[in-house]
Structure 1
Amino acid sequence: MRKYIILTLIFLNIAVVQAFAQKRTITGTVLDEQDNEPLVGASIVETGTTNGTMADADGNFSLSISGNAKSLTVKYIGYITKDIPLTTSNNYKVSLEMETNTLDDIVVVGFGTQTKASVVGAISQVAGKDMEKTATPNLSNALAGRASGVITIMGSGKPGDDDSRILIRGQASPNSADPLVLVDGVVRTDWREIDSNDVESISVLKDASATAVFGVRAGNGVIIITTKRGTKGKPTFKLTSQTAISQAIRLPEYLQSYDYATLYNEACRNDGITPFYSEADLEHYRTGDSPYTHPDNDYYKDFLKKTALQQMINVSASGGTDFVSYYISGNFVTQEGLYRTIENDNYPTNNRYTRYNFRSNLDFNITKSTKVGVDLSARLETRNQANNGSAIFDRIQKMAPNWQPYINPDGSLNNKTRDQFNPIVMISKLGYRWNYTNVFEGSLTLDQNLDVITKGLKLKLLGSIRNTFRSQKYITEEPEAWYYDKNGQYYGDELQRVDIAYSQSKGPALRRTDIQASLNYNRTFNDHTVGALVSYYQDQRIDEFDVPITVLGWATRATYGFKQRYLAEVNAGYNGSTNFAKDKRYAWFPAFSLGWVVSEEGFWKNNIKAVDFLKIRGSYGETGNDKFGSFKYFYEQLYLITPGGDGNQIYWGENPSGNQEKGIYEGKLGNSEVTWERAQKFNIGFDTRMFDSKLSITVDFFQEKRNDILAIPYSIPLILGMGLPTNTNRGLPPGNINKVLNRGIDIEVGFDGKVKDFEYYAKGNFTFARNKFTKIDEENVVYEWESNLNRPIGQIFGLTDLGLYQIDDFKQNADGTLYLDGGFPVLVDGLPTPMFGPVYPGDCRYEDLNGDGVIDKYDVGAIGKSKTPEYSFGLTLGGRFKGFDFSALFQGAGGGNMPLREYAIWEFYTSKNGNGKVMEHHLDRYIPEDPATWETAKYPRLHSGTNANNHQMSTRWLFDRSYVRLKNMEIGYTLPKKVAKKAFMSSCRIFVSGDNLITWDNMMSWDPESSSETGSAYPQMRTWNAGINITF
């Protein structure tokens, strides 16, 4: 019996020990691996169970677990999930590492940062590493196709002047639609010159909730650029070197001299004049046997190189200690132009852009609670070009192929007239200019933790100064003018030789200062998370030749979250601008937003496993726009000084020939009631992540009502002595009159996955924005189709083309010939009479919109849409396999039209002084002598110069501007670490890439993004690039 009692006691003791062993309490702290900041709200779960808890405001946690638990799983948004093996210890310090795509989850907002899970505004985020893939020195071009809500239009490929126009959610004002851009918290207008290797992230703030803190300047959206900073650790040195060759994507193909002369003779016959070229002339052009008297010039081939060189080098050093962290970089860029280099002993002859960038971001940990930042940057730019460099493309695009030989038989340069320079002369004999821009910037910040007052309170002070200096150096000369005509005769011209002269100038200089002071408060109390912001800022711009421009105000924000489930936010900006009269300078711009994280609800967690995260959010608020163009003080009466010259001086004293002084006269009237535009913005959207966050989707619907748009009151009849208002002349001043409604949708989709060693990803974005005038002050119109009301900004107007007149549209004599009245054909009864000029079979026929029997200005109406696209999109595909990586970006836009005119589309336009060309599409023309062309011709009959009827803007000359472009593709290979280490490198990656590789569109010979309707813009460039990234 005693044995049984002992055994029973033993078993009971074991059972009690096991019962106690089934439960134990684990405590610990969850911190960021880099800066040891607590990760508030981190999830700590007993692995394989639903038993878990969350970290508090200090990152601390306590969790009771079973005795047989093997590990804990710790998660936090934007960080790599970590499993912590359990030992006998009951206290753990957990450090989580940021994910490589953490920028998708940590969002930079106005005057601070937020986690994407808590953001209730509409914000797009682009990582700096994505921007680096595009081999362009211009940051605005690297942004194309990478963010929803952003429409980019790159109008030119000229080195140093290839900025993309940036629109956020389309265009809501006919005045400036440029967004406000901040770099490291400071307003910048020349942000495009920042090296993409120095960019950490770009945030695009789109709705009122995200932008209201910027108030009067935020109506067009806000872009926040954050540059890289150092982190604690050993020094890291990086080198990125790239060499690229660029070539014009598309150049028009003009017909050469024989076809030109043949078609010109046909045009002369059509106009009833004697053909200009004889049969002997045509034979010389056909055989090319007399190049001096009958040249056959191919200007694009002769004066443009096939390729131009581009080089970009970036070096950086980063790292840090307990006291200081640093990021220091230097960058060099050089871009050559397309013009051929023509020898000149006195100066270079090609256009070139050169830039040096320097950046130093230092952070000093003065104490545990005090941090000081010192940021310094500099940029030195040089733009070189011939004095007539901007006109060269315009000139070679206009000149007929048989104009004149470039060089006369005696070796002298052919230079016929002052307004029709030989391209060789323009490039190499009319002088050269250097434009220098030097920018120096410094910022000082203080971040003070005020936990001694109350936990979660922080103070930030910022002061910044930026100086811009510009100077120019010129060389001018003009050569002798001799030309050799087709009869072999030399002729002199009134233009005489001007010897080389040197000159220089300075300015304008610019200084910009910024001052900011902010108090931020963020705290979690159990289930409640609260935040608050109060900030004062002042931005002043001092121009060398103008009075200072100052914007100052206050920004406030209050945020609240309950159980990370219900979110609310209030933002407001109180701003003032010296652009307006004193009593019109200040106003409040409030915004309100709500969010609901549905996936945090119990009914969702327990039933819908595929959707990891779902947040619904909405916002409404008001922002402003004070950008009205180059002129500022519309509230001021303008007085002007007489320009001088006879009759413009005021004479003092008895001698009328002496003491001459300029006078002052009254200019533009002022309007003291002028104030900013007001943008009322509504947004509703959702963010979701599915399938273990592999798939992410963000959708936003938006509407903006832009009120009080500054406009000229065209509806008021002109008063004697008052012309239309401009910046300088007399006239009624602009007022806050017009209104625009802008609506649309933003979509972002991302997906990533992994199959063994192959990782892949896809990112897509789409933006649609359609605007229309809901109120507009315009000249009184007779018919609805003449008005801009209920039509988009930049609506194109023209005639509606109905095809070509056929011979049956005209009265005929009994013998079948055209009946003439006053020497011109007569249309049959019932057809409206064109008032622009006489018409013949094969000329353009237009619709009589008002049915009054004539075609005139009252039949000009809205055609197509605006030149600004209504939608844009981007699709990035990429992957990694072992050491190889690949990415491709497809980008495009649509919903806009481009009207082509003059030399871009019309034949023999202003055919004089050697101007006027013909292209391949002119071959498919209406030929009066060839009945086979009458029904099938796509181009009207030819005329020998500008034609008053055919050369009217109409639907015939309107083209769809939609396109899809392979914007960027990159293939790279990273050497194995063992191999890199042998060469004393931490890592080494070699890569090849290309930009603007393929374009699908319907724009004939012209690029769909080109800014020129006449074809005279510098062409877009295709770039082939090879480079290397080395880390030491």
Structure 2
Amino acid sequence: MKNPDGNWSEGSGIGIFTDGGRAKATTDNAILTGEFLVHLTPGWDFTANYTFDGTYIDNSNHRKTFYVVKPSGAKDPRGGTSPNYFERNTYKNQHYTVNAFTSYEKTFGGHYFKALAGFTQELYDNLRLQGSNDNLYSDEVPSLGLTYGVNRNANDEASQLAIRGAFGRINYNYKEKYLLELNGRYDGTSRFLKDKRFKFYPGISAGWVLSKEDFWQPLSNTIEQFKIRGSYASLGDQAFTDNYYPFYPNLATTLPTDTRWIFNGGRGSAVGSPGLVNYGLSWVTTNTLGFGVDAAFLKNKLNVSFDWYKRNGKNYAMESQGLPALLGVRPPLVNDGETETKGIELTVGWKDKINELSYGANLVFSDYIGKVTKITNPQGLIQRQWYSGMTMGEIWGYETVGLFKDQAEIDATNQSFIHGGTWNIGDVHYKDLNGDGKIDNGDNTLSNPGDRKIIGNTTPRYSFGLNMNAAYKGFDLTVFLQG
């Protein structure tokens, strides 16, 4: 590991780790929260709370010049460590949340009523500072202020995202037999322009507990609980992009040291052309219709729950219809796609106790399939994200015939589109689906996919999970399986 002279051998690589500098990372988290609760009258409360959470990160990277001692005693800087270098990155990510809401509930004559209304606001405030340079005066005092290199670099990033909304909910039930809930949200975000910023999302759910009806009494010894329910809800998503300002075109800048153009006898800074933006970009909306049944049997030992749902997504954000290549920039995001997803969920649970042994099991089964119902893709391009009628997760590929058995098969098949080199006996032989004598992807469209077809799907089907547990005299065991 060390040479006879006591220095680390160059081949060991240990010296570069012990004396080659340090990368340090420090993360501090701060959380402050408080709540104010007032009981205004019996059944009427007012609540306000505030939460602050911040993350503060300081990263530094100091690369020392590491010298390798030769047998002669001469010192040579190891490649990649000269000149020495220092970089510092600081991050300040702060999140402020304010909630204020009031609720009132009342019970009279078998009727239960509760109403809630509130206001919420969030602010994300982020700042990043980065600076670096080479040629430190001393490796013993790593600091940006003690560098004299010409490769100075300084960057900063500042961003803010504000979210504001109002929400409300009304609950009603009569003798816990007839259940009704109405809710709604009116949310806005600074991620979109003013006329696209706010949107209202309503919801309704209702249930009927048949097992509490008089006509259910003959069945009550076998089916203790039975409830049917239905719901419709609309939700919005504005976090489909990491960009806090998708409506602002960005200008790429280049330092004078990185440009290749001469201005006034020397290289100057440059500003690139901005990308395209969509001023009409707005919320992605999901509407879900669902129906379900809950039942309990055998003195509540056996519980069964079944749900069916249909979820329609609207205004998915994706790149707009392909534009001519001569444009030179990527197309902007637009609210375009619509989808439909249908699924079921079944839960069966059993719990019982025999003397001091308690045990139980829960089986969950689910399945769903999604399709694209609408998208602007008139050419039916397959390589685009979606096309109308597409099943979500589908995989396009080539069908295989088998393996090449002899040279005659190779000579009779043109697979140069897939691999332009030499094909050999034992290589994969693909099927010529369109009969044109060659294997390719055609125009890469639905009308001319070449020799490709749908060969599979990445969406998991028929998922299940099984949770089994048992407890006896203070000992417990849990087994979980899924697939």
State the TM bucket, normalised to the shorter chain: 0.7 to 0.9
RMSD (CA atoms)? 3.3
Quick one: distance in 1 between partners of 2:96 and 2:258?
Answer: 45
Q: Deviations over 1:104-147 (max 9, x none)?
A: xxxxxxxxxxxxxxxxxxxxxxxxxxxxxxxxxxxxxxxxxxxx
| Aligned equivalents of 1:503, 1:610: Cα separation in 2 | 75
Q: 1:863 corresponds to which residue?
A: 455
Structure 2 letter corresponding to 1:689: A
Match of 2:314 in 1: 707
Q: Pick closer, same or farther for the CA change 1:650–1:785 going to 2, 3 Å.
A: closer
Amino acid at match of 2:427: D
Change (3 A) 1:787 1:462: closer
- Corresponding residue to 1:535 among 113, 118, 123: 118
Are 1:742 and 2:348 an aligned pair? no
Residues in 1 aligned to 2:85 and 2:425: alpha-carbon distance in whole angstroms: 58
Paired amino acid for 1:877? M
Listed one character per residue, the Cα deviations across residues 259-284 of structure 1 (whole Å, up to 9, x for unaligned) are xxxxxxxxxxxxxxxxxxxxxxxxxx
The answer to whether the 8 A contact 1:517-1:535 is kept is: yes
Distance 1:464 1:742 in 2: 36
Which residue number corresponds to residue 887 of structure 1?
Answer: 478
- 1:460 match: 47
Return 5+ residue gaps in structure 1 as ranges.
1-342, 345-409, 416-423, 482-493, 726-731, 811-824, 893-1032
Distance across 2 between alignment mates of 1:540 and 1:681: 29
User: Could you say what secondary structure the match of 1:498 adopts?
Assistant: coil
The answer to whether 1:692 aligns with 2:273 is no
Q: Which of 444, 457, 469 is matched with 2:34 structurally?
A: 444
Distance 1:665 1:841, change over 3 A: closer
Counterpart contact for 1:550–1:577, Cα < 8 Å:
yes
Q: Deviations over 1:287-330 (max 9, x none)?
A: xxxxxxxxxxxxxxxxxxxxxxxxxxxxxxxxxxxxxxxxxxxx
SS at match of 1:857: coil
C-alpha separation in 2, matches of 1:650 and 1:468? 44
| 1:403-418 equivalences in 2 (<5 Å) | 412-413=10-11
Q: What is the match of residue 224 of structure 1?
A: none
2:428 counterpart residue number:
844
Distance in 1 between the 2:85 and 2:385 partners? 52
- Give secondary structure in 2 for the equivalent of 1:606: helix
Distance 1:779 1:479 in 2: 61
Q: SS of the counterpart of 2:299?
A: coil
Q: Does 1:674 align with 2:288?
A: no
Alpha-carbon distance between aligned partners in 1 of 2:464 and 2:19, rounded to the nearest angstrom: 45
* Contact 1:441-1:467 within 8 A present in 2 as well: yes
User: Structure 1 length normalisation: TM-score?
Assistant: 0.39
750 and 434 in structure 1: CA distance in 2 versus 1, 3 angstrom threshold: farther
Structure 1 residues 886 and 597, CA gap change in structure 2 (3 angstroms): same
| C-alpha displacement of 1:832 | 5.2
From 492, 496, 509, the counterpart of 2:92: 509
Aligned to 1:138: none
1:167-316 equivalences under 5 Å are none
Q: CA deviation at 1:604?
A: 0.8
Instruction: Summarize the Cα distance change of 1:444–1:833 in structure 2 as closer, same or farther, 3 Å threshold.
Output: closer
Matched, 1:606 2:218: yes
Q: Out of 172, 176, 179, which is 1:560 matched to?
A: 172
Q: How does 1:47-126 map to 2 (within 5 A)?
A: none
Aligned AA (1:584): K
Give the alignment of 1:321-336 within 5 angstroms: none
Q: State how far apart, in whole Å, the 1-side matches of 2:177 and 2:284 are.
A: 36
Does the C-alpha gap of structure 1 residues 788 and 782 become closer, same or farther in structure 2, counting only changes over 3 Å?
closer
Matched with 1:265 is: none
Cα–Cα, structure 1 residues 764 and 588, in superposed 2: closer, same or farther, change >3 Å?
same
SS in 2 for 1:639: coil
Contact (CA 8 Å) 2:16, 2:66: kept in 1 or not? no
Call closer, same or farther: CA 1:503–1:766 in 2, change over 3 Å: farther
Structure 1 equivalent of residue 59 of structure 2 = 472
Within the alignment, does 1:574 sit opposite 2:205 as a pair? no
Task: Identify, as 1 or 2, the structure richer in helix.
Answer: 1
Q: How does 1:129-144 map to 2 (within 5 A)?
A: none
Q: What letter is aligned with 2:328?
A: M
User: For 2:402, which of 780, 789, 803 is the aligned residue?
Assistant: 803
2:471 counterpart of 1:873: no
Q: Secondary structure at the match of 1:583?
A: helix
Decide whether aligned partners of structure 1 residues 413 and 549 sit closer, same or farther in structure 2, where only a CA change above 3 A counts. Answer: same
Distance 1:477 1:776 in 2: 55
CA offset at residue 799 of structure 1? 2.1
Q: Secondary structure at the match of 1:547?
A: strand
Deviation (angstroms), 1:645: 3.6
Once the two structures are superposed, what CA deviation does each residue of 1:997-1019 show, in whole Å capped at 9, x if it has no partner? Answer: xxxxxxxxxxxxxxxxxxxxxxx
The 8 Å contact of residues 610 and 690 in structure 1, kept in 2 or not, is answered as yes
Q: Which of residues 249, 258, 265 in structure 2 aligns to 1:656?
A: 265
Letter in 1 for 2:430: Y
In structure 1, give the amino acid aligned to 2:101: S
1:432 positional shift? 5.8
AA matched with 1:737: D
Where do 1:343-422 residues align within 5 Å? 412-413=10-11
**Deviation sequence 1:367-417 (CA, Å, 0-9, x none):** xxxxxxxxxxxxxxxxxxxxxxxxxxxxxxxxxxxxxxxxxxx965289xx
Q: Deviations over 1:472-499 (max 9, x none)?
A: 2335469899xxxxxxxxxxxx972627
Pick from 328, 333, 336: which aligns with 1:722?
328
Cα shift at 1:449: 1.5
CA offset at residue 516 of structure 1? 0.8
2:356 is aligned to 757
Q: Secondary structure of the equivalent of 1:855?
A: coil
Distance (whole Å) between structure 2 residues aligned to residue 500 and residue 808 of structure 1: 59
> Is the CA contact (8 Å cut-off) linking 2:259 and 2:268 kept in structure 1?
no
Q: CA deviation at 1:591?
A: 0.8
- The higher-RCO structure (CA 8 Å, 6+ apart) is 1
Alpha carbons 1:634, 1:733 under 8 Å: kept: no
Conserved? CA contact 2:308–2:344, under 8 Å: yes
**What one-letter code is carried by the residue in structure 2 that aligns with 1:446?**
F
Offset, 1:715: 3.4
For 2:229, the equivalent position in structure 1 comes to 617
Preserved contact between residue 642 and residue 648 of structure 1 (Cα < 8 Å): no
The number of residues matched between the two structures is 431
Following superposition, the deviation at residue 549 of structure 1 comes to 0.4
Residue type at the aligned position of 2:460: P
1:52 counterpart residue number: none
Give the drift of 1:580: 0.5
Measure, in 2, the Cα distance between the counterparts of 1:540 and 1:848. Answer: 57
Read off the aligned partner of 2:11 and give its amino acid letter: L
Question: How many Å separate the matches in 1 of 2:256 and 2:283?
Answer: 37
1:687 maps to a residue whose letter is D
Alignment of 1:974-989 (within 5 A): none
TM-score by length of 2: 0.80
| Structure number, greater radius of gyration | 1
Supply the distance in 2 between the matched residues of 1:478 and 1:775 (Cα, whole angstroms): 60
TM-fit CA distance, 1:525: 0.8
**Using the alignment, how far apart are the partners of 2:381 and 2:35 within structure 1?**
60
Q: Give, as a single letter, the amino acid of the residue that structure 1 aligns with 2:466.
A: L
- Residue aligning to 2:365: 766
Question: Which amino acid counterpart does residue 826 of structure 1 have in structure 2?
Answer: D
- Tell me the SS of whatever aligns to 1:509: strand
SS at match of 1:627: coil
